[in-house]
Structure 1
Amino acid sequence: LVRFPSERYQQIFTEYLTAKYAAHPPDLVILVFVGNLGIPGTQLARLFPRTPIIVAGLTEEEFRTDQFGPSVSGIAQRVNPRANLELILRLQPEVRRIVVIGGTTEIDRQVTERVRDAAQSFQGRVVIEFWNKLTMPELRQAVTALPRDTAILFARMFRDGAGQAFISSQVAQTIAESANVPVYVMTDANLGTGAVGGAVASIEAFGKRAGELARLILTGTDAKTLPLKIRTDSIPMFNWPALQRWGIPESRLPPGSSVRYKPTSLWAQYRWHMIGVATVVLLQAAMITGLLLQRERRRRAEAELSESRQFMELATEAGGIGLWVRDLVQGDLWANPRMRSMLGFDQDDAVKVDDVLARINPDDRAQTMAVIERAQESGEPFEVEFRTAIPGVAERRLVSRGQFVRGPRGQVVRRMGTMIDITERKRIEVDFQRNREELAHVTRVATVGELTTVVAHELNQPLGAILSNAEAAEMFLMAEPPALDEVREILADIRKDDQRASEVIRRMRNLLRKQELAPKLIEINDAVEEVSILLSIDASHRKVALKFEGTADLPSAWCDPVHLQQVVLNLVLNGMEAMAGMPEERRRVIVRTGRGDNGSVKIAVADSGAGIPDDRLPKLFEPFFTTKKDGAPS
């Protein structure tokens, strides 16, 4: 819009933007401009009435900061001609003439007028001329023949006196290269063109500010709280090669100046190279000395390693531990004599991974490989237990533990570990579990023996009712005519009493049944309530208030129902026995079920007895420990 300001071009550009963003309007518009803000600022506000707009650029035109509406914020940067004129006289006190070069576009004229206004205060100190109507060839020729006491201040040129359009920074470069006197500029965009520098308006500074405003708006800040600001601040910034070309000493630069393109000294430029060379020489000397010392240490280490290997072999042989190492790069597998013996290999056999897998029980092979593969993916140590299947050799149970060794790049290069024969340990565990089940069965029989009176009472009630109902039925059948409806009701009662007696016998048989531990999914409330019903008569005889409080909708639990019921039965009986010496109105036992942590289920048995002394709590789960006076198990 600066180089082509016609209304037709504005119309084409407006129609293009309208069509392009009709379906997908932007969340934020950022306008980077030079010179003319009025036209694009107004057009963008109309094109995107509900979109925040950030403007950032250089302009000398007059406008109000609120004329574009509340959705437009940003920075309008103006040049500082007065500061540049002062700077020229500071750096070149001998200057008697300053030539200001400008162009013919509207923005060119605006900048030239700003310089002209500032020049009024320098009357009598220096002669200031304005070249703003020359063609480019005329300018190129004119700047080559200026007196030595002259300096050039380049304003801005987008079009020369002949109406030819140019890029302003290219014009500045052409003039700086052709001129026989120093050239000064007012924006840092022209600093790398060969000009000396000046009190410049920093495009980088207002670009950063525009980025900050964009971040604030995109993160929720209302654009209305970020008004458009006009800035005139400048930064003294200079081109080091140009200062050297024109013999301007660095001491004349104002405080806080920024000097660009300044070459570094030989030490500053090659400091690390010099330090590196010296370091390498010292390291080489130290390395030679270290290698001599390392050679002696290596000899001693090899002797100690050989001794340590022999000691390890003795230790593993005495402990019955098999050792193995697999090179994952080469595919080799090493096994010590103990491991070879466990898997039925001769000491001279070449052990391969496939040979080892072939000697694992087929039922355990897939699981063993899965454990090792998961460990290799995660890099964690592993442990796997399996059975052997070696022709002509009894089955063994082995457990192997291993871990992975990583190379310098973090890749897994080796797998190493141990192997132990746990056949005898497993046999002892089976015997122990069998004895434990025998003891549990004896305990259940003893517990049921204590409930003999309760069982007899529980069975007498339905049996007595059956007898009474049978006699009544006989009487009704002898009547003329027989009372068949009454007999049917009596038979229904007999069936209920028979089912009641059968249920009592079933519960007792479940507790007395001798079976292996067989976990399964059960409903905790049903299992615990069944024990409470079984003990209710005994609790009544002991004058104990027994209450069951079950929590609804509990998840099913994986356990052996018989062993679970035995535990609850023992706890309730212990509680009732502990309250034998207490007043009847204080004898209470409550059995509760509820939800535990992490999806578990908990069972609590609480009684109103005296409790267990603190000094005996550590022994609570020791075998055969009891607090009963007669020494009976708890």
Structure 2
Amino acid sequence: MTHVSPAAARRSVRLPRVWWAGWFLVLLAALPPRPAAAQVFWEDDGPRVLVLASYHHGNPWTDSIVEEIRQVFQAERPTAKLHIEYMDAMRNDPREVFPSIEALFRSKYRGKRPATIVTIGDEALNFLLARRDRLFPMVPIVFSAVSATRKLPIKDPAGIVGVAETVDIKRTIQIALALHPRATRVVGVSDLSSVARYDFERFWRTFPLFEDHVRFDEFVGYSADELRAELARLPPQTIVIDVAFRRDRLGRVFSPAEVVRLLGDEGRFPVYSLWDYSVGQGVVGGYVSSGKAQGEAAARLAFRVLDGAPIDAEAATRDELTVPMFDYAQLQRFGIPMGLLPPGSVVVNQPETLYWKYRYYFWSVTLVIGTLLTLVMVLTSNVLQKRRALRELQASRQRYRAIVEDQTEFLVRFDKLFRITYANSAVCAFLRMSREKVLSMAVDQFVPAERLAMLRPEVAARTPDEPLFAGEDRVRSADGACRWIKWTGRAIFGPGGSVEEYQVVASDVTSEKQIYQALEKSHEAYRELAARGQKLLENERSRISMEIHDELGQNLTALNIGLSMLGRNAGGPDEGERIREMRDLTERTIGSVQRISHELRPPQLDELGLLAAMQYHARRFLGTAGLAYRFEQHGGAPDIRLDTDRATALFRVFQEALTNVVRHARATRVLIRVTAEADAVGLEISDDGIGIDDHAKRSQNSLGIMGMRERIRAHSGRLTVSGRAGQGTTVTVRLPVPAEETET
């Protein structure tokens, strides 16, 4: 809040009769000019500025603007000469007095051309706009305190500039309702003057924003007695807004204090105003238009004109021309806490306490003491923090040293030249060397030269964004033994972004390496044994298939022929029927023998090749199951690229895959694609069945899938099973062809 000394009470001025003022101005105009006295004013050094005020001297709004113009000119343009004229248009009818004023000015300022004219209020501007060419031709005009909503009647915009009078009616109503939350009615009061009509028009346009909360009424053009009668009928929860009430319907002019007493019904209602001169006269406050701001803005525009800056017709409105201003006494009267006022509010009539009187000394001493105390506290805190940080650093170093020295993993640091700068106890024990000896050596004394040549550029390429590097290498100990270590390194960068050193954490994985190698050998032996078993099994199947086909098949065929001949020589119908039954059984047995022989070893695989065997099996197996299928071949025939073992393995996988489709997939279509490439043979079988989930693919109970993988893995191939539930399954096989067979 800004504290302002109490405003001086202003006395009302009684209105002289209009016809007396008119005759007085006519007589002044008729008097002969005084050349000597007049010319002295206009011939002094410095520019001449004529200030033309719409109202009379003693009007608080006019006086505040005139006083501010005078102070700004005295402070910044002391050589300028101000001549101030008051038109008294509030207490007189402008239509009656303007002709007399024109005659007076024509006589008084004949041959005395001012550098610029500053007008205050709408009436002064209207007077000059209609008579400038006759009284002050080509003299620039700077207007102030004109209504911001009016359309300026400027026919010739050259040489006219000014600042408009801004009133913030919306925010004034908002703050009034906020400070009086129980209010149910807002009344705007105005007279019938032309200026008041502009202001009340703005007030009326604001009504719809608040009609949902309160009721609005307007009292316009009433006499004082009529206004008292209307106000007396209003409820206590009423807020009165003084929009522009200065003169009642009967022509009586009221001072600001008289207006507040009248509108407030002798203090019954809170009164809010739009003008700063009313604050301190009994109104609560509001967002008021500042006469001081108007005067300062007009003076600075006049400076531009005097400096010769080009100007156009312009009416500038500025937010700083209105300020939130309140009366402390009225706030106390209506029980309004100052904490509810908007930020930056100016409060007048605030009592001056002992603290307020000596506040600058109080805050100066408080600031000095506070600064000293803060300085002492900061210094004390810094000392304590440094001691605490030193103790924590020492403890941290001891913990770090204990952790590093006691851990079983290896910790090594080395510089950019790969010279070892630190090694913990685990490193020394692993290398079977003392710490002093290790620190006198370089990394290349423990790592093979070929591996170190690969490691140097990898380490040198580290950046602050990618500081990590890792690997697995063999190192030599002092006795020449080689052991495996797995390590992770980090490049440590300095403030300038360059590498200061490298740190490596490693562990001995020699035992794990040996176990892994033994496990790999075991797996390889298992695969060789499985491949040998599969080969023996296929050979045995082939032998049994041939024996069944050659011996059992031929015997059954001969038996069938004998039964046929015997049936032709049968003596009776019963014997013939029994012979026919025996022939049917024999033929079914021959079919079973052929089927078993085919399943043990398809003859097409040996006689016609892998591709024909696949096509025959698909036609026979899928066709019997009633599934539609398509068989595609890409590249050359795979038979010429695969040996017997690989062809058999691929065919068995093909058989198992089709069996799974028929038994489990619930499919309606199957796509078989065989691809022969330069270095491999590919097989892909896809169906549109129910699919397979991840658990089924990984399940140890899926012996069919596991058996297929092992058959292909025995020949260094790869088998994958993909699919999702409800979207079918795809089995993909890629079987490499040995180099010697590819060349063949």
Please tell me whether Structure 1 or Structure 2 has the larger radius of gyration of its CA atoms: 2
Q: TM-score, normalised by structure 1?
A: 0.40
Higher relative contact order (CA 8 A, sep 6+): 2
Q: TM-score, normalised by structure 2?
A: 0.34
